[in-house]
A and B are shown apart, each in its own frame.
Chain A
Amino acid sequence: MVDASAIKGKRKKTTSVRLEVKPTELPDAPPIDTKYFTIYLANPLNSGESTTLEVLYVFTHFLEPFPAEIAQSESQLVFYHDTALILSPYHIKQQTTFIKTPSTKVESFIRMEPTNRVGTEIKYGPYEDRPPYSISPIHVHFENNSPFAVVEELVQEIEISHWGNIQVTEHYKLVHAGARHKGVFSRVDYQSRQSSNGASSFRYLLARLPPRVHSVYYRDEIGNISSSHLRTDSLKSELEIEPRYPLFGGWKATFVIGYGLPLQDFLFESSDDKRYLNFTFGCPLIGMVVDKLTIKVGLVE
């Protein structure tokens, strides 16, 4: 996922303007395994002018857990593979790369001078005058205990009914995609010494739902799961769910979340007698990677 925006204005008064991004092909590039994107500037840039761009890209399944199997009392360490020199088809006069880790525990990192590490930040650079398509592979081995929750498959069914209700049913296949769990799981240790046990496991999942949601249910194949909380206010609703057991590396859980929404919040009538459904599709669970998403919308006959 790539997003780009241009920064306008001076230091205190900065605004960012969204720019268009499209994937492209570069036939005369060296044959390395990359994808290319073109960013279209708002105004054409004349010679001698400069502009500031901010590009955001998000990768999934990028961190490799190493060691691949950990016991309950160990914390999770992952590899982050990257290049110290930014891969670009342009000539770069000066570049610096900052890598921020979630905690100060870094096992190792490959140095490429000048490299410096302060607290949670590793600084690669500044590197001057590198030719286009130059790369320099590095990796960082650090501790990352944030929940590696991956939804392997999500099937979302939205049914619109005559009678003023939208019913949404979501079927999840959740898996912990971090370092696999090996050895025993001791519930006593897990509950008593929480800081050092099961640090990379997760229990709580938060879903953000539209306001005025009703009839929320949270079930799986064998019945209702009673460990959930729903908090609503006028702007949003938050559903905090807890799977039946805390998820450790490699463990799976499947469940179904269903809820109803009032139709008048989402259905609009236009001047030419058509109805428009304005709905945010996708996974309402925040901070979740979804591998395969299927959306079914059932319209009124």
Chain B
Amino acid sequence: MSNSSTSDPLKPFKLKTKQQELLIRVSILCLVYILAFITRLFSVLRYESMIHEFDPYFNYRTTLYLTQHGFYDFWNWFDYESWYPLGRIVGGTLYPGLMVTAALIYRLLHFLRFAVHIREVCVLTAPFFASNTTLVAYFFGKEIWDSGGGLVAAILIAVCPGYISRSVAGSYDNEGVAIFALLFTFYLFVKAVNKGSLAWGLASAFGYFYMVSAWGGYVFIINLIPLYVLVLLITGRYSMRLYVAYNCMYILGMLLAMQIRFVGFQHVQSGEHMAAMGVFFLMQVFYFLDWVKHMLSDTKLFQEFLSITVTCAVAAGGIALGVGMASGYISPWTGRFYSLLDPTYAKDHIPIIASVSEHQPTAWSSFMFDFHILLFLFPAGLYFCFKRLSDATIFIVMYGLTSMYFAGVMVRLILVATPAVCLISAIAVSATVKNLTVLLRSKNKVAQIGSTKGTSSAKSSSKASLDQSQPFQKNGAMALLFGAFYLLSRYATHCTWVTSEAYSSPSIVLAARGAHGNRVIFDDYREAYFWLRQNTPPDAKVMSWWDYGYQITAMGNRTVIVDNNTWNNTHIATVGRAMSSYEDEAYEIIRSLDVDYVLVVFGGVTGYSSDDINK
């Protein structure tokens, strides 16, 4: 509008401000999408496109089975190649979300005539879903704060090491898809609460179903959302929107979740899911009270009625819960989740959970390593959230605080805290940068004559008065802005360094520098598995420590005695006893298990520290 009088050769290409803003936003999101994908590709470029670690090999094997045999056979699969002689009911003991997603992507690519191998699809599933998570983070940030906050959230979560650690290319594990599902469900629910529409509520129920199918950590959602609803009810923010959103999501989500065989009837039978049911009934009580208040015109009578109803409802709920738990219908909290509330529980009662290194409490160095500057931006973001309290910001504050508590209890759960920390820090960054840039631009606006933008002129008048009291405000703002950008660039550098050094090693292939500086690759694991595959009879049974079970069945294609599922501790104990006894006793045990080969990992020659002797 301001340069319409001059004849400008570029006039047809000049966009209006709104369109400029849209272009900037879209291009930033595209770049962030690509960045999130390619920063996770270090190990593919350094080694090859292969599956890392131990658990992903089981997921790969099941996905392979799914693509070869179809969904019905996969859902009813009894695997006799692991846990000899017990076997494993695979269809009923896994979360199928990841495998089904990868198989669908594979089918789609084949439909478009891209002849890719299922392994490539599996390797690149996690980075693809990480890119999708950045998009969801943008929309979520836009919902809580504004589009600037959404953009910063997308950028922060694209490179955050806490998320990259479990979603690097090759790490084909449930968490890669689950974090996307988690954030997506939360976004849909907050949108439903904000809008009060049934459609968004339904969408959040389906999002919850996807989350249940993807990861056992869905328990976090089914406890956080009722807690959030409870907080809203207590702070007097009950509204029709909340009623519609929560009811729709809970009922439909619960019914859909029961379709997963592994979950089964836990939503009505397990102690971990009772909070959701309790809050559901509380919502009905609130709705009833609201209706009664609407009907009654006498406030005093209503107060008495209110107190009676509330006490009755709470008492009825407590009695029902007590009866349920006493009769054994409602099972108490399982060890895995109880140890989150009481960290000393696992050490005394379930040693196998306590022995996993990922389940130890988190040290400050891990927090700094995984979050860097987000660690001090998190309290700053909390402050900004409290300044502008709404339904959405209350949710993100609750998510942030609860997930940070759990991240402090167990290292593995830093992953769950990462989206919350990124979103809250994004609020801090966005609000700070916005204030600083408004300060910077205010002086220019005052100097401009005939400004047409209404809002900035109002600000400019207020800022003009401030300018006169503090003469160096503009320079201070500039310096702070440079400081903020410097911090963010250091964050990006740190994240890339962490990804490259710490989280990109496919623990199955090790590399070192030889005497002449050339790269020496230790591919001993795959050498052993391939030898087993080629040179042993097809029905041979291999005994090894449970760490390697999944890899032996996937790559060596032989029956194993115990593997990473660790569902039968007695069987694992038998193997452990055989490995640590004298040879005569061990031979007896091994013959009784009908074993043909024993696999032991020894790292003495190359200085490999996580071998069987160490365990």
Q: Give Cα A244 to B532, complex, Å.
A: 12
Task: Specify the chain A residue showing the minimal Cβ separation from B555.
Answer: A222
Q: How far is the CA of A251 from the CA of B532 in the complex (A)?
A: 11
- Known A220-B530, A222-B529; judge A251-B535 contact (CB<8 A): yes
CA distance A253 to B526 in the complex (A): 13
B48 lies within 8 A of A224 (CB): yes
Q: B interface, by DSSP: helix, strand, loop or mixed?
A: helix
A224 near B50: Cβ-Cβ < 8 Å:
yes
Contacts of A253 in B (CB 8 A): 530, 534
Q: Does B305 contact A (CB under 8 A)?
A: no
Cα(A226)–Cα(B521), bound, Å? 7
Distance between Cα atoms of A72 and B588 in the complex (Å)? 28
Chain A residues with CB below 8 A from B611, complex form: none
Report chain A residues within 8 Å CB of B529: 222
Name which of B521, B530, B533 has the most chain A CB atoms within 10 A of its CB.
Answer: B530
Within 8 A of B (CB), among A252-274: 252-254
Is the CB–CB distance between A222 and B534 below 8 Å? no
> Which chain B residues lie closer than 8 Å to A220 at the CB level?
530
Point out the residues of chain B lying under 8 angstroms from A252, CB to CB.
534-535
A221-B533, A253-B534 are contacts. A244–B555 as well, Cβ < 8 Å?
no
Residue of A222, A250, A251, A254 near B526 (CB, 8 A) is A222
- CB within 8 Å for A245 and B530 given contacts A222-B555, A224-B48: yes
**B524-558 at interface with A (beta carbon < 8 Å):** 526-527, 529-531, 533-535, 555
- Cα distance A247–B453 when bound, in Å? 80
**Beta-carbon contacts under 8 Å, B1-55 to A:** 47-48, 50
A223 within 8 A of B: yes
A253 closest partner in B (C-beta): B534
Contact of A245 among B47, B531, B555 (CB under 8 A): B531
Whether B48 pairs with A222 at a CB distance below 8 angstroms is no
- Flag whether B612 is at the interface (Cβ < 8 A): no
| B48 pairs with A223, CB closer than 8 A | yes
| Chain A positions within 8 Å of B48 at CB level | 223-224
**A252 to B535 alpha-carbon distance, docked (Å):** 6
Give Cα A225 to B526, complex, Å: 9
CB distance from B479 to the nearest CB of A (A): 51
- B534 to chain A: which residues have CB within 8 Å? 251-254
Q: Nearest residue in B to A252 (C-beta to C-beta)?
A: B534
Chain B residue numbers with a CB within 8 Å of A221 are: 530, 533
Most buried by B among A222, A224, A227, A254: A222
Interface contact A244-B535, CB-CB below 8 Å:
no
Bound state CA distance, A221 and B118, in angstroms?
13
Cβ-closest chain B residue relative to A244: B527
**A250 contact set on B, CB distance < 8 A:** 535
The residues of A that contact B555 with a CB separation of less than 8 Å are: 222
For A223, A250, A254, which residue has the most chain B Cβ atoms within 10 angstroms? Answer: A223
Which residues of A lie under 8 Å from residue B358 when comparing CB positions? none
List, in ascending order, chain A residues with CB within 8 A of B526's CB.
222-223, 244
Count of CB-CB pairs between chains A and B under 8 Å: 36
A222 surroundings in chain B (CB, below 8 A)? 526, 529-530, 533, 555
Interface size class of A (residues with CB under 8 A): 10 to 19
Is A226's CB under 8 angstroms from B535's CB? no
Scoring B48, B534, B555 by chain A CB atoms within 10 A of each residue's CB, the highest score goes to B534
Task: Report chain A residues within 8 Å CB of B47.
Answer: 224
Residues on the B chain within 8 Å of A224, using CB = 47-48, 50
0 or 1 for each of A26-49: is its CB under 8 Å from B? (1 = yes): 000000000000000000000000
**Which residues of B from 491 to 531 have beta carbons under 8 Å from A?**
521, 523, 526-527, 529-531
Which residue of chain A is the closest to B508 with respect to CB atoms? A223
What separation, in Å, do the CA atoms of A221 and B530 have in the docked complex? 9
* B531 cross-chain contacts in A, Cβ below 8 A: 244-245, 251
One of A245, A251, A254 near B527 (C-beta < 8 A): A245
Bitwise interface map of B from 368 to 387 toward A, beta carbon under 8 Å scored 1, else 0: 00000000000000000000
Complex CA–CA separation, A263 to B535 (angstroms): 39
A244 touches B530 (CB 8 A): yes
Q: Is the CB of B530 within 8 A of A226?
A: no
Instruction: Give chain A nearest CB distance to B43 CB in angstroms.
Output: 12
What 0/1 pattern do residues 206 to 230 of A give for CB contact below 8 A with B?
0000000000000011111111000
Q: List residues of chain A with CB within 8 A of the CB of B521.
A: 226-227
With contacts A251-B534, A252-B534 taken as known, whether A223 is within 8 angstroms of B50 at the C-beta atoms is yes
How many Å lie between the Cα of A226 and that of B48 in the bound state?
10
The interface residues of chain B lying within 8 Å CB-to-CB of A223 are 48, 50, 526
Smallest CB separation, B42 vs chain A (Å):
16
B50: A residues at CB distance < 8 A? 223-224
Q: Which residue of B lies closest to A191 (CB)?
A: B605
Q: In the complex, A284 Cα to B534 Cα: how many Å?
A: 23
Pair A226/B523 contact, Cβ less than 8 Å: yes
Q: Which B residues are CB-close (under 8 A) to A245?
A: 527, 530-531
Q: How far is the CB of A205 from chain B (nearest CB, A)?
A: 16
Q: Give the CA-CA distance A220 to B50 in the complex, in Å.
A: 12
**Shortest beta-carbon distance from A59 to chain B in Å:** 28
Q: What is the CA–CA distance of A10 and B531 in the complex, to the nearest angstrom?
A: 56
In the complex, residue of chain A having the shortest beta-carbon distance to the beta carbon of B527: A244
The smallest beta-carbon distance between B80 and chain A, in angstroms, is: 21
Closest to A251 in B: B535
- Per-position 1/0 for B393-434, Cβ under 8 A of A: 000000000000000000000000000000000000000000
Q: Do A244 and B523 contact each other (CB < 8 Å), given the known contacts A223-B48, A223-B50?
A: yes
A220 to B556, CA, bound (A): 12
Q: Give the CA-CA distance A225 to B47 in the complex, in Å.
A: 10
CA–CA, A244 to B524, complex, Å?
8
Shortest distance in angstroms between B195's beta carbon and chain A's nearest beta carbon?
49
CB distance from B552 to the nearest CB of A (A): 11
Complex Cα–Cα for A227 and B527 (A): 11
Which residues 194-237 of B have a CB within 8 angstroms of A?
Answer: none
CB distance from B505 to the nearest CB of A (A): 15
Measured in the bound complex, the distance between the Cα atoms of B534 and A244 in whole Å is: 11
A254 to B530, CA, bound (A): 9
Q: Which residue of A lies closest to B521 (CB)?
A: A226
Distance in angstroms from A173 CB to nearest chain B CB is 10
Query: In the complex, A244→B47 CA distance in Å?
Result: 16
**In this complex, what residue of B is CB-closest to A223?**
B50
Interface residues of B in 290-307 (CB under 8 A from A): none
The proximity string for B residues 48-83 relative to A, scoring 1 for CB distances below 8 Å and 0 otherwise, is 101000000000000000000000000000000000
Complex CA gap A226/B534 in Å reads 19
- Bound Cα distance A227, B518 (Å): 13
Q: Which residue of A lies closest to B526 (CB)?
A: A222
Residues of B close to A251: CB separation below 8 A: 531, 534-535
A253 to B529, CA, bound (A): 12
For the complex with contacts A222-B526, A251-B531, A254-B534, 15 further pairs of A-B residues with Cβ separation under 8 Å are: A220-B530, A221-B530, A222-B529, A222-B533, A223-B48, A223-B526, A224-B48, A226-B521, A226-B523, A227-B521, A244-B523, A245-B527, A245-B530, A250-B535, A253-B534
Write the residues of chain B forming the contact surface with A, with a CB cutoff of 8 angstroms: 47-48, 50, 521, 523, 526-527, 529-531, 533-535, 555
Cβ contacts A to B, 16 pairs, < 8 Å: A220-B530, A221-B530, A222-B526, A223-B48, A224-B47, A224-B48, A226-B523, A227-B521, A227-B523, A244-B526, A245-B527, A245-B530, A252-B534, A253-B530, A253-B534, A254-B534
Closest 10 CB pairs of A and B: A224-B48, A244-B527, A222-B555, A252-B534, A226-B521, A223-B50, A244-B530, A251-B535, A245-B531, A245-B527
